[in-house]
Chain A
Amino acid sequence: MTLRPTGTSKNSLFVPACLFLVGCVLSAGLSWLTLEVGRSRVEHEVKEELRLHLTSIETGLRGNLFALDAFAAFLGAGEQVGRSEFQSFATSLLRSHGGIQAIGWVPRVAGDERPAFEEKARRDGISEGGIAERDGQGRTVAAAERGEYFPIHYVEPAASDASSLLLDLGSPQARLATLPEARDTGEARAVDTILLPRQPEDRQGFTVLRPVYRQGTQPRTIEERRRDLAGFAVTVLRVGDIVRRSMAPLHSVSPDQGHMEVRIFDMAAPAGQRLLYPKGEADGDPASHGSDLRVERSFDAAGRPWLLVAWPTAAHGRLGTSALPWMVLAAGLVATILVAGFVRMKVRRAAERVAAEQALRQGERLLRSILDNSPNEITLKNADGRYVIANAAALKHWGIGKERRSGDPLPDLSPTAPEHRRAAAEHEWEVIESQSPIAKEREWPDPAGKPQTHIVTKFPILDDGGKVVWIGSISTDITALKQVERELRDRNRAYRTLSRCNEILVRSEDEEALIADVCRTIVETGGYAGAEVGIAENGGRGALRSVARCGRVPDAANILQIPWDGPACPIVAAVTAQATGNEEAGGVKSMATFPMFTGGRAVGVLAVCSDMHGTFGREAVALLEELAGDMAFGIAALRAKAQHEKAAVEMRKLARAVEQSPAMIIMTDAQGTIEYVNPKFVEVSGYSAAEAVGAKPSLLQSGETERGDYESLWAAIKDGRVWRGLFHNKRKDGSLFWGESAISPVFDGDGGITHFIGIQEDVTERLEQERRLRHADKMDSLGNLAGGIAHDFNNMLLPIGTLTAMVLKDMEPGSKGQRRLERVLEATERAQSLAQRILAFGRTDSGEVQTHGISESILETANLLKSTLPKTIALDVRIEADLGDVAYDRTQIETVVLNLAKNAADAMGRRPGDLRIALERFHLAVPLTGLTSTIAAGSYARLTIGDTGKGIEPDKLARIFEPYFTTKAKGEGTGLGLAMVRTIILKHGGEIAVESEVGVGTTFRIYLPLHEAGRSASAEGTSAASEAAD
């Protein structure tokens, strides 16, 4: 545990934070100062540099002007300076002053001296043309007559422009106001126009005139100057050259020379033309040039006020940003951080030390408090074996009271008995050896001699070198705990036993296994010596039968001897050694028997034996009694369950019988409302169980059953008798079925009727079968009869016909005898035809069955008919080709068509009429019920043969298929044709239907099953046939 006085961490941060802030502010201030000082020094230096430059330029200008003074002095020295003298002087001047572009002499020539001057000039080879001037168009012409002239006389370098020699500067066109001004003041004057010939490439020049007086001296007054003026020294100076030349020496001194800008303005010039240097730049306000660092200087250039301006360009090295302030700032910050960090560390350490000391003191108090409040006895021994610490519990244990002062040394707290002392010493030695805590359980009496159980944990306390310096001991009194633990264990075992037994009771399926398992659990889990269970025979009236015995049970305690139908409470008895009887039961000291009751009836007895006296305490007895009760319940439950299962199996069988009954079973309540119908009912009637339940059985009434039948039914069943009878019932889909029924009442215990049960069998099929069999029998016997008759008939006809024919041959033609015998032959032929028809009826057994080509067969038959039918009958044949496979006997089907067609023709008689024969594929959507049978829904080939004959009366229509039934006149039909047709169709698995209306006609429709591809061709067609034929 660490204890830290609050606020320590805040204090340890405050001072360093303040230091850091101050340090940052100082660093920033110092940095700013450095920046400012640096900047002002640089400005100063740059300005000095600029001034130096301007001074240098000024000096250069001045030098060049002085050269003019010197030239003037040279000219003034001698009245007549020779050309060669002039030349040598001017050349030297030009050489020494790079800024001079040209230099020249302009003498004053008075009006009267002109001819002489011109003459001399001609002689000297200066100019042939004399003094000239420029006219209005700029052309050079001879100067007009004036008082005085100022022709350009000498110019150096001479070769530059000869045309301007002797040009009069005093001419009105020259308009040189500067000339009189220079004459009168005696000073050099600059001219804003160029007087001397210029070198074309240089446009930076300006012209200066300097008056020269006679006698070489400058007169004092203006009059004297006007009088003594000898001429003017003229020079053209190149400002650019002068500037460049004067700045050149500075290059080596200032590396930033290139980063300076210099401008020279002539302030006397009109605005826009002021800038003299450098040329080519747009003129502007001189003040707008340069930056804050510009330096200006005024200069008097031969009477013209010039302004020299210089400033550094942005590229000037001195103006660049200095890193020094940043370095100062960085250094300041770094130093601040270092100092603040260092201070923080120091402050924190101090705070931690204080906190640690506080925590130590608090820990000590805490430890002492824990020690003294611990119920465990805690002691600490030093290396000398002396006790140095003992908590309150330990002191109390050893009977050391509060009278002992805290500073007093502790007495020896080791156990007193020698063996306990030894054990304690060994314990300590083990701890020292292993250098780890070791816990041991001790059963030592307390100082008062009372037995106690303790858990003593001894542990080493090591010094830094790993040596044991102290041994601590914690002793916990677990005497009470041990006692509780023991009791708990016993109880747990008892409950575990009960719980296991309950599990067995729940799981067991068999009574005897249950009892054996419980006995075993009582011994194995419960820890008893033995257990036995006896069960009462004969429902509790007879003797006990031992069902299970486990462990050791003395014979003397034979539970079979127990008067168990006596008091219904447990009996606990001691078992004496003599009474145990058998050796196996040795050691059994007590036993208890428990009657096993359930529902107030005893089912048996449980006996439990123990090796100890006093085992069967109140708790144990209560538990075992409960167990006996549970067992009794379990046994009763198993018995009940067995009984129930048997009943359930019976019930299920019954239910299954009802569910799966091939007969319909309907159960109604006493009022006749349906409560239950079985699946067969649903299947046959078409009503779902939901529809049937709640309805009355009259649901099925078709109206076909006699009213009296229902009355007798109710009379019988209400009377408690069974009613049997046949109903003609109606299904949900409206179709009818025959139900053979047995209806019986169901009685309750008091003989009252609670339900009625109707068992009904759908006998429709059976009745139909019977009917068909009867029909088939009839047909069969008829067939046989017919065959027999025909056979004998034919035998008789042979001699009649043949012999008559033979006699007839011998007869005299036209005789009476011949005529009569011919009538005999006619009768014979008719009899023969009749015999053939009778035979044909007998010949309805199947011949060759084929599947293909029914369309073609019927078409052929129809074509055959064409030739035999009376012309009054129109035959309409519509045969659908490729309608599929039909298994059919060609001969029989031909017979059918011919028979029906013949009937149709007969029905139409001699009246005109239509005979329709059609064959088409037809899908029967619902089953078709014919006279005696039903064919299923599906695909059929439908053969229709219809006529527009007289029709058949409805009452006869129902009978037309019966053998020997005929609507024809006596002698016209046998009554076998349609019966035969129907038999053939039925044998083909088909059906025939007829519609007829008297006076309109009759239509037969024959349905022959269409066979899907792959099915056996003859199977369907002949199955019905074989039935009918048998």
Chain B
Amino acid sequence: MAHILVIDDEELSLFTMREILEEAGHTVVTAGDGMAGLALQGAQAFDLVITDMVMPHKEGVQLIVEIRERDSRIPILAISGSGRSRNTDFLELARQHGANAVLTKPFSEEDLLNALAVCLETDG
């Protein structure tokens, strides 16, 4: 069972992911924006970080860069509602900066758990 940090500015998204992950037996800590997420990641040891890409205060890409500066090994799963936006492909950017897997919103329970498995496997 993994200890997972989930960062998203959408309260409903956070709730949904917590529901899925906890039902799957993981422990979940959530953060409402990038700043808070980064602080939590520094404070605790997580097995996995799930982060949204478009957030206030700190963009997902920025967050991934800073986490990677601190910890090069921790698996990161990037999620986004925009997928590829008009000029920027957030998920592609996330991948380039160190995200182990990406997932487009909306996703199913199964999608998330599969992505999770991929991330943890990579780690293991």
In the complex, are the beta carbons of B85 and A795 less than 8 A apart?
no
In the complex, are the beta carbons of B84 and A798 less than 8 A apart?
no
Q: List 29 A-B contacts (CB under 8 A).
A: A783-B86, A787-B85, A790-B81, A790-B82, A791-B81, A793-B81, A794-B81, A794-B83, A794-B104, A794-B105, A795-B105, A797-B106, A798-B10, A798-B12, A798-B16, A799-B12, A799-B15, A799-B16, A802-B16, A802-B19, A802-B108, A802-B112, A803-B19, A805-B108, A806-B20, A806-B109, A842-B86, A843-B83, A845-B86
In the complex, are the beta carbons of A839 and B106 less than 8 A apart?
no
Alpha-carbon separation in the docked complex, A787 to B81 (Å): 10
Chain B: minimal CB distance from A910 (Å): 31
Return the 4 tightest CB-CB contacts between A and B, nearest first: A794-B81, A798-B106, A797-B106, A799-B12
**B86 partner residues in chain A, CB cutoff 8 A:** 783-784, 787, 842-843, 845
Contact A787 B15, CB 8 Å, known A795-B105, A806-B20, A845-B87: no
Whether B13 is near chain A, meaning CB under 8 Å from some CB there, is: yes
Whether A194 is near chain B, meaning CB under 8 Å from some CB there, is: no
User: Quick one: which of B52-99 are within 8 Å of A by CB?
Assistant: 54, 80-87
Alpha-carbon separation in the docked complex, A969 to B38 (Å): 48
**A828 partner residues in chain B, CB cutoff 8 A:** 106
Question: Could you say which of B15, B20, B86, B104 has the most chain A C-beta atoms within 10 Å of its C-beta?
Answer: B86
In the complex, are the beta carbons of B84 and A802 less than 8 A apart?
no
Whether A1009 is near chain B, meaning CB under 8 Å from some CB there, is: no
| Residues of A participating in the B interface, judged by any CB pair closer than 8 Å | 783-784, 787, 790-803, 805-806, 828, 832, 839, 842-843, 845, 1029
Alpha-carbon separation in the docked complex, A710 to B17 (Å): 71
In the complex, are the beta carbons of B87 and A802 less than 8 A apart?
no
**B84 partner residues in chain A, CB cutoff 8 A:** 839, 843
Contact pick for B16, options A787, A803, A832, CB 8 Å: A803
How many chain B residues touch A (Cβ–Cβ < 8 Å)? 24
In the complex, are the beta carbons of A795 and B108 less than 8 A apart?
no
**B13 partner residues in chain A, CB cutoff 8 A:** 795, 798-799
A1029 and chain B: residue at smallest CB distance: B87
Instruction: Supply 10 further A-B pairs (C-beta < 8 A) apart from A792-B81, A799-B15, A803-B16.
Output: A790-B82, A793-B81, A795-B105, A796-B12, A798-B107, A800-B106, A802-B106, A806-B19, A806-B109, A843-B86
In the complex, are the beta carbons of B20 and A842 less than 8 A apart?
no
**A798 partner residues in chain B, CB cutoff 8 A:** 10, 12-13, 16, 81, 105-107
**A792 partner residues in chain B, CB cutoff 8 A:** 81
Alpha-carbon separation in the docked complex, A617 to B87 (Å): 103
Alpha-carbon separation in the docked complex, A851 to B54 (Å): 34
Contact A795 B109, CB 8 Å, known A803-B19, A842-B86: no
User: Quick one: which of B22-41 are within 8 Å of A by CB?
Assistant: 23
**B10 partner residues in chain A, CB cutoff 8 A:** 795, 798
Chain A: minimal CB distance from B91 (Å): 12
In the complex, are the beta carbons of B85 and A791 less than 8 A apart?
yes
Question: Could you say which of B15, B105, B109 has the most chain A C-beta atoms within 10 Å of its C-beta?
Answer: B105
Alpha-carbon separation in the docked complex, A791 to B12 (Å): 14
Alpha-carbon separation in the docked complex, A793 to B12 (Å): 12
| Residues of B participating in the A interface, judged by any CB pair closer than 8 Å | 10, 12-13, 15-16, 19-20, 23, 54, 80-87, 104-109, 112
Contact A795 B23, CB 8 Å, known A787-B86, A790-B82, A801-B106: no
**A784 partner residues in chain B, CB cutoff 8 A:** 86
Alpha-carbon separation in the docked complex, A792 to B12 (Å): 12
In the complex, are the beta carbons of A795 and B87 less than 8 A apart?
no
Chain B: minimal CB distance from A408 (Å): 141
In the complex, are the beta carbons of A802 and B107 less than 8 A apart?
yes
A831 and chain B: residue at smallest CB distance: B106
Alpha-carbon separation in the docked complex, A845 to B85 (Å): 9
Alpha-carbon separation in the docked complex, A937 to B54 (Å): 46
Chain A: minimal CB distance from B99 (Å): 18
Contact A832 B106, CB 8 Å, known A799-B13, A806-B19: yes
Alpha-carbon separation in the docked complex, A794 to B84 (Å): 13
A796 and chain B: residue at smallest CB distance: B12
Alpha-carbon separation in the docked complex, A797 to B105 (Å): 8
Alpha-carbon separation in the docked complex, A484 to B86 (Å): 110
Question: Could you say which of A783, A784, A839 has the most chain B C-beta atoms within 10 Å of its C-beta?
Answer: A839
**A797 partner residues in chain B, CB cutoff 8 A:** 105-106
Chain B: minimal CB distance from A806 (Å): 6
**B105 partner residues in chain A, CB cutoff 8 A:** 794-795, 797-798
**B87 partner residues in chain A, CB cutoff 8 A:** 845, 1029
**B106 partner residues in chain A, CB cutoff 8 A:** 794, 797-798, 800-802, 828, 832
Alpha-carbon separation in the docked complex, A794 to B111 (Å): 15
Contact pick for A801, options B19, B85, B104, B108, CB 8 Å: B108
Alpha-carbon separation in the docked complex, A1029 to B87 (Å): 9
In the complex, are the beta carbons of A791 and B108 less than 8 A apart?
no
Alpha-carbon separation in the docked complex, A483 to B82 (Å): 121
In the complex, are the beta carbons of B85 and A802 less than 8 A apart?
no
Chain A: minimal CB distance from B116 (Å): 14
Alpha-carbon separation in the docked complex, A798 to B15 (Å): 10
Contact A843 B85, CB 8 Å, known A795-B13, A798-B13, A803-B16: yes
Alpha-carbon separation in the docked complex, A792 to B83 (Å): 12
Alpha-carbon separation in the docked complex, A795 to B15 (Å): 12
**B82 partner residues in chain A, CB cutoff 8 A:** 787, 790-791, 794, 839
Contact pick for A806, options B23, B80, B83, B104, CB 8 Å: B23
B88 and chain A: residue at smallest CB distance: A845
Alpha-carbon separation in the docked complex, A597 to B53 (Å): 98
In the complex, are the beta carbons of B109 and A805 less than 8 A apart?
yes
Alpha-carbon separation in the docked complex, A793 to B82 (Å): 9
Alpha-carbon separation in the docked complex, A798 to B106 (Å): 4
Chain B: minimal CB distance from A799 (Å): 4
Alpha-carbon separation in the docked complex, A791 to B53 (Å): 11
